[in-house]
């Protein structure tokens, strides 16, 4: 099936590994050029870029903290210099301090809010400024913690709730500029991110036992959902959060 993405150009934030990497590789499979963004681990970013080039499309490797507006401007300047435009932006990078609320400081809270929610502002503002061939699509990656209480997830959950609200507000504002904005909310995926959870084992066990479909999500499940929202088949979907969790969140 032709998903009509061939020849488009994408930036995926936080795509050196984990879910972002799966999204980047899936876009490359559909003949989309992909800019990989990372924060610290250049080796992983270069490995992902090599896998993208092996699929016959272009890859850029761009270091930068999405929570720093100067870094974000530099990412987009570089994309403009190299490619002259961008059609797809996936806001996937995230971070956060995982602690019980009794141990969280406002610094921890601000950290999660900046990287996971506020960063969407400089990202959309720069994205708007770049030229494109046809419609632009932005997909933000959220999590079930935006609407459910998960142990140790207070700061990140609040930041994801803010992210989903921003997606609705930005979608309403930018639709007339030809930018379609949505979110994908994923259930638990066993990536490096889970190594930071003090309750990793119980989270995974609970997800395995409670997911109606009978298996854990993998990064590709999230990537497939993101890809759908980037395609013209989703052209009338604006400001929505699409849940991909094997049915986990429908249970009482
Ligand atoms: N894993 C889950 O269970 C799960 C569930 C639902 C939603 N999600 C969401 O899915 C997305 C990806 O999660 P993941 O599990 O794949 O994470 P991950 O394996 O920890 O990977 C995080 C990626 O983000 C980059 N990154 C971190 N902070 C950054 C910053 N400030 N600026 C730019 N890049 C940054 C990292 O780069 P370096 O390698 O250089 O550090 C890495 O490429 C996140 O939005 C997360 O909230 C995850």
Q: How many angstroms is it from 99 CA to the middle of ligand 1?
A: 18
Whole-number pLDDT of residue 71 = 98
pLDDT digits (tens, 9 = 90+) for 150-162: 999 999 999 999 9
Tell the residue number behind the tokens 């030229």, with chain if given: 131
* The model's pTM: 0.98
Whole-number pLDDT of residue 1 = 87
Residue 251, in any domain of the structure: no
248 assigned to active site = no
Residue 252, in any domain of the structure: no
pLDDT digits (tens, 9 = 90+) for 60-88: 999 999 999 999 999 999 999 999 999 99
What residue ranges line ligand 1, CB within 6 angstroms? 13-20, 37-41, 44, 65-67, 92-95, 115, 141, 143, 186, 188-189, 191-194
Q: 92-120 burial, b if ≥16 CB within 10 A, otherwise e?
A: bbbbbbbbeeeebeeebbebbbbbbbbbb
Number of residues that this document lists for the chain: 252
* Tokens standing for residue 84: 């002259």
Report the CATH number at residue 41.
3.40.50.720
Residue 1, in any domain of the structure: no
Whole-number pLDDT of residue 198 = 87
Rounded Cα gap, residues 218 and 200, in angstroms? 16
pLDDT digits (tens, 9 = 90+) for 1-37: 899 999 999 999 999 999 999 999 999 999 999 999 9
Residue 177, in any domain of the structure: yes
Residue 184, in any domain of the structure: yes
**Phi and psi based region of residue 91 (left: phi greater than 0; alpha: psi -120 to 50; beta: remaining):** beta
Range(s) of the domain holding residue 195: 9-245
* Tokens standing for residue 248: 């986990």
- Sequence-ordered alpha helix ranges (H) in the chain: 18-29, 42-53, 69-83, 106-113, 120-129, 154-174, 200-210, 219-230
pLDDT digits (tens, 9 = 90+) for 182-222: 999 999 999 999 998 888 999 999 999 999 999 999 999 99
Number of structural domains found in the chain: 1
């Amino acid at each position: 099936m032709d998903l009509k993405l061939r020849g488009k150009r994408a930036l995926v934030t936080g795509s050196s590994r984990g879910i972002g990497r799966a999204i980047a590789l899936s876009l490359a499979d559909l003949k989309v050029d992909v800019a990989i963004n990372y924060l610290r681990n250049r080796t992983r970013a270069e490995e992902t870029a090599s896998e993208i080039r092996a699929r016959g499309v272009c890859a850029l490797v761009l270091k930068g903290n999405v929570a720093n507006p100067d870094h974000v401007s530099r990412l987009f300047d570089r994309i403009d210099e190299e490619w002259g435009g961008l059609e797809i932006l996936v806001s996937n990078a995230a971070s956060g301090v995982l602690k019980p609320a009794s141990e969280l400081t406002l610094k921890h809270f601000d950290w999660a809010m900046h990287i996971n929610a506020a960063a969407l502002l400089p990202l959309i503002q720069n994205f708007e400024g770049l030229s494109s061939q046809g419609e632009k699509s932005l997909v933000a990656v959220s999590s079930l913690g935006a609407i459910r209480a998960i142990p140790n997830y207070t700061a990140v959950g609040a930041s994801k709730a803010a992210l989903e609200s921003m997606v609705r507000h930005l979608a309403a504002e930018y639709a007339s500029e030809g930018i379609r904005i949505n979110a994908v909310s994923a259930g638990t995926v066993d990536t490096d991110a889970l190594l930071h959870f003090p309750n990793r084992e119980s989270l995974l066990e609970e997800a395995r036992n409670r997911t109606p479909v009978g298996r854990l999500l993998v990064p590709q499940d999230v990537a497939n959902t993101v890809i759908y929202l980037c395609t013209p088949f989703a052209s009338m979907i604006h400001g929505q959060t699409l849940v991909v969790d094997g049915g986990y969140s429908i249970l009482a």
